[in-house]
Amino acid sequence: MGRFDGILLCTDFDSTLYVNGAISEENFRAIEYFKQNGGLFTLVSGRPEWMLADMLGKVRPNTYVCGFNGGLIVMLDGSDKVYESFVEDGLKEYHRVICREIPEIKSFHYFTVDKMVKVNREEFSDALVCEHNQNDMYKITYSVESEDSDSVVERISEIIDERYLVTRSSLRGIEMQNARDCKGAAVKRLARIVGASTLVCVGDFENDISMIESADIGYAVGNACESLKAVADRITVSAENHALAKIIEDLE
């Protein structure tokens, strides 16, 4: 029996595990120790699995990863896809309205199965936005200036309905997708799939709040935003101080 049997450890990627363009050796060693002793380690990220695979270096999950904030649950190599959900037509219509009515949005980009496409403000038009409403979009991300972020989120929230979710991965990155595909729903799905008895989640920003609330033990890294710290069960060290290693030490 391993000391971490039954524990599913889900971490956000950027500014939680991945800091200054790298994953620390301390975090890598701790994650390997966790896996060797029965734990399941994975990522819950706004990024797609193919992008994560290129950035992870020698760190490897030993179960499914959750990409696009939960719109896709799949093995890191793209095999054995167990959940997939694309942006609904209703949200695509709201997207056209948002692009037309909120000039503070500097660009938008979207992910499909195998690519990321960026569209700049000077290219916006109803016809072009409609052209970019692909059938296999997992989410839409808007880029704004930090000082406009709060007001843009508020205005998008007034436009869309409860079937859809607007949240932020940073002050400059506003994300929109189906509400059923938030990170919190994803980690619950994954815990059921793998039969985990204890769900531990780690994050740093607003799009992580739902998974921190869904966890048996929810951690905020020390550099997390205040709204995430407010819902966390525990606050650990800053990500640059090897937060995953500290969390695994705590779990032991």
CA 106-108-114 angle, to 5 degrees, is 150
What is the residue-level pLDDT of the chain in tens, covering all 252 positions?
Answer: 799 999 999 999 999 999 999 999 999 999 999 999 999 999 999 999 999 999 999 999 999 999 999 999 999 998 899 999 999 989 989 998 999 899 999 999 988 888 888 989 888 776 566 666 777 889 999 999 999 999 999 999 999 999 999 999 999 999 999 999 999 999 999 999 999 999 999 999 999 999 999 999 999 999 999 999 999 999 999 999 999 999 999 999
Cα separation, 69 vs 52, in Å, equals 13
First-to-last CA distance in the chain? 14
Asked if residues 231 and 218 have their Cβ atoms less than 8 Å apart, the reply is: yes
pTM for this model (two decimals): 0.94
Residue 224: what residue type? A
Does domain 89-180 fall into CATH 3.30.1240.10? yes
Q: What is the pLDDT of residue 87?
A: 92
Q: What is the pLDDT of residue 126?
A: 66
Domain residue ranges in the chain: 7-84+181-251, 89-180
Nearest to 241 by CA among 218, 228, 224: 224
What CATH number was assigned to the domain covering residues 7-84+181-251?
A: 3.40.50.1000
